[in-house]
Amino acid sequence: RSSQQGAGSGDGSPSSAAAETPSSEDFSLSLLDTNLPAEAETELRSFIAKRLTKGALFEGMGNVASVGLSIPEYKVGCYYCCFQHENLLETATLESDINAPEYVVCFLGGSEKDTFRLELDKYIQSLKINLDLEQKTLETCVNPYLRSWFENAICPIQRVVQLFQEKLAFLLHAALSYTPVEVKNADERTEKDISRFLAAASLQGLVQEGTMTSLCIAMTEEQHKSMIIDCSGPQPQLHNAGSNRFCEDWMHAFVNGTEGGNPFLFRQILENFKLKAIQDINNLKRFIRQAEMNHYALFKCYMFLKNCGSGDILLKIVKVEHAEMPEARSVVTVLEEFMRETSVA
């Protein structure tokens, strides 16, 4: 319905703009930029129009779906997100009678899974803040930004795996244990890649928020445990790095995956890594509850910690979570002593 409409695109994707009332069909989609063939672009535009008509797009929240297009491959994964320019959004809020144009950005990739949806949401948020409707800025800033979506939002995990290789186990251990990490002598992209990898590999959002905060505080106070990554040479040098059998086993899964070179595969491995860590934490918690009343269950706790490969990290997590529970805290204290004696022996 708006007189000025448009959309942006990324690598292998067009984009279209939409109006404010997705519940009706009184809107039009006009193409702003794409690198899709004309026939495939028309099909994608039809797909987006149907979603808009059903009211299936919410401002600033991306969706991922499988889309069949007339291109040589097959069905592809499509991330699509509807947004308004930040300044126009504020104006429209103050003056509700103004019908500001909306934009739909579509990125096409090799997977319909939403493993990278949060990263792409952040990518669109940055575009939304910096978008300028002037054609000159559009060609020099917006279009190049959209076309680099795959390299900037999808590939960081793959680049970190290729950079660290066998040393990736130390990075995984730091992410799980909330160990502070300092990156030195690295270029801006490498530093951002490492930061994104650590964030993606941590259990943030999967363990209790209070637990995560307490762990971060505890690890930050232990300054001697901060891990330092020196990127001055061809291979990163690590100082004060820790690892365990669990992280080393998963490191091999990542390194073996480099042959295929599929960034979506690396993200899936990372999600499986976190899922297994959460399963181990939940199993240990269950054993601890049983051990409060059963000495045999205490032995099961000990054997589980000894055999799971990540007993050092699991003990820290449950210790923080059970700090206010006297019976559970006493079980954790005994387990710490057992593990300490075993390591000394």
* 82 and 200 fall within a common domain: no
The SS3 assignment for 178 reads coil
* 297 and 215 fall within a common domain: yes
Q: Return the closest-CA partner of residue 64 out of 120, 114, 11.
A: 114
Does residue 21 sit within a domain? no
Spatial separation of the C-alpha atoms in residues 192 and 222, rounded to whole Å: 24
Mean pLDDT, the chain, integer: 80
Three-state SS string over 278-302 comes to: HHHHHHHHHHHHHHCCCHHHHHHHH
* 192 and 315 fall within a common domain: yes
Does residue 209 sit within a domain? yes
* 248 and 104 fall within a common domain: no
pLDDT of residue 139: 72
Does residue 7 sit within a domain? no
For the cut 90, the answer to whether the pLDDT of residue 99 exceeds it is: no
* 174 and 120 fall within a common domain: no
* 257 and 192 fall within a common domain: yes
Q: How many domains, the chain?
A: 2
Q: What single-letter amino acid sits at 339?
A: M
Spatial separation of the C-alpha atoms in residues 339 and 345, rounded to whole Å: 10
Report the C-alpha dihedral over residues 104, 105, 110, 112, rounded to 10 degrees.
Answer: -40
* 119 and 186 fall within a common domain: no
Tokens of 6: 């448009």
Does residue 143 sit within a domain? no
Higher pLDDT residue, 341 or 157?
A: 157
Q: What single-letter amino acid sits at 270?
A: L
Does residue 8 sit within a domain? no
Domain that holds residue 240: 162-344
> Hey, which residues does 78 pair with through a beta bridge?
65, 108
227-230/181-184 β-pairing: parallel
Least confident of 2-16, 58-72, 106-120, 237-251: 2-16
76-83/102-109 β-pairing: antiparallel
Residues 54-73 have a mean pLDDT of 82
Does residue 71 sit within a domain? yes
Spatial separation of the C-alpha atoms in residues 13 and 33, rounded to whole Å: 9
Residues making up the chain, counted from first to last: 345
Tokens of 333: 């204290």
For the cut 90, the answer to whether the pLDDT of residue 289 exceeds it is: no
pLDDT of residue 1: 43
Least confident of 35-44, 57-66, 151-160, 319-328: 319-328
Question: Which pTM was predicted?
Answer: 0.81
| Per-residue pLDDT band at 81 (split at 50, 70, 90) | very high
Q: Return the closest-CA partner of residue 122 out of 104, 141, 149.
A: 149
pLDDT of residue 333: 84
* 185 and 251 fall within a common domain: yes
Tokens of 170: 């130390």
Contacts of 328 (CB under 8 A, 6+ apart): 288, 289, 292, 318, 322
Least confident of 54-63, 86-95, 186-195, 273-282: 86-95
* 170 and 307 fall within a common domain: yes
* 260 and 309 fall within a common domain: yes
* 331 and 253 fall within a common domain: yes
Does residue 33 sit within a domain? no
* 219 and 300 fall within a common domain: yes
Does residue 320 sit within a domain? yes
